[in-house]
Amino acid sequence: MRRLALVLLAALPGAALPEGEAPPSPGTSPKVEFAAIGTGFIPISEGEAKASLWYAGISGSWTPPGFGARADVRGAPGGFRPYYETDVWLQEGYAWAATPAGDVRAGKTERAFGLADDTFTGTLFTDNGVSRNPFWGAGVVGETRFGVDSLTWAVYWEGLGEKAGSWEETGRGASSDPGTNVGEGASARVSYLVYKGLLTFRAGLSGSTVRVWHDDGRPPFRMNDGAVDLTLTAGPLALMGQFFVRNGERKAPGERLFLAYDDGRAGLVEFRAELPKLAFRLVWSSWSYLGAEASEWLLQPAVVWTPVKGIEATVEYLARRLTEPGRRVSSDAFQLGLGLRF
């Protein structure tokens, strides 16, 4: 039974705080949460169906008045990604302290860039290392209210990206490139929320610059990213959009290329409807790799069922198309997920 409990330990990506939100209200004692995710993959076009433990974990937070800390430790047989095999890793681990400028954080956390990825497997932004990937660094997050409206901000020094716990797809960028590191940069995000009862409108602006360097003699380069995003909600309905640009390392068509390094333009549109125990979402992400003269899109409709608090079942459909000079790669599959938290 103990082995089974460990197998079911990691439901849903370790949640960062909602955008612009300060750490939780002071508590009298540390809080501990166990979580687990099991996943099943059912290909339609090609490949074999399989079921596995995605990862299991335990997280804890401590929030006395004015400061606190959070840690999220996860594990999976053979590691989370094939390019970094470690059975146990620290997904997040940071301390924070309240200051007049906002809450200062230091340690390992996820990036504060663009819209949060709430899909099960990750959009193209996650596949290419923009979203969800953890890093070591420090920063400040804060919020100022103007009546019921609010301005939120986050500024981080990104000292070093972390391969363990990376969500990047294999062969895309620095996380899965052997002997390669990413860091020595900064990221920032600012957004403004207009609240009109059941209607809300949020506009956001994000920027990032990081250095990529290799151990095998390849010249280093810097990736500069920018994004604008809009979110409109009406009660249980939400519509989101994001436009993204990347200035990276452009290469000629036919060259060996990690796609995430390339100069690019990308976009995302998401529609979401939430009911008491059911949630429906439709996410479309698209990316153009300018130097490689390639394009890619990913469509992800999903249904999420939460019968009781702490249990979440997801059925997500993945339709992906990658077009490169002289070829087109297509894949279609269902991704199933069962998450537990307690």
pLDDT, tens digit (0-9, with 9 covering 90-100), for 218-227 = 899 999 999 9
In-domain check, residue 6: no
Sequence-separated (6 or more) residues with CB below 8 Å from residue 219: none
298: containing domain: 93-341
Residue 181 lies in a domain: yes
Domain count, the chain: 1
Instruction: Classify residue 210: in a domain, yes or no.
Output: yes
Q: Tell me which H or E stretch contains 4.
A: helix 2-7
Q: Which of 162, 112, 95 is nearest to 134 (CA)?
A: 162
Considering all CA atoms of the chain, what is the largest pairwise distance in Å, rounded to the nearest integer?
A: 62
Q: Does residue 2 belong to any structural domain of this protein?
A: no
User: Would 131 be classed as within a structural domain?
Assistant: yes
- Going by C-alpha positions, the residue among 218, 163, 154 that lies closest to residue 186 is 154
Judge whether 305 lies within some domain. Answer: yes
The residue among 44, 39, 34 whose CA lies nearest residue 14 is 34
71: in domain: no
Per-residue pLDDT band at 7 (split at 50, 70, 90): very low
Chain-centroid distance of CA 192 in Å reads 21
d(CA 36, CA 265): 35
Mean pLDDT of 15-42: 70
229 located within any domain? yes
CATH code, 303: 2.40.160.10
**Percent of the chain at pLDDT exceeding 90:** 75
Residue 63 φ then ψ, to 5°: -135, 70
The whole-chain average pLDDT of the chain stands at 89
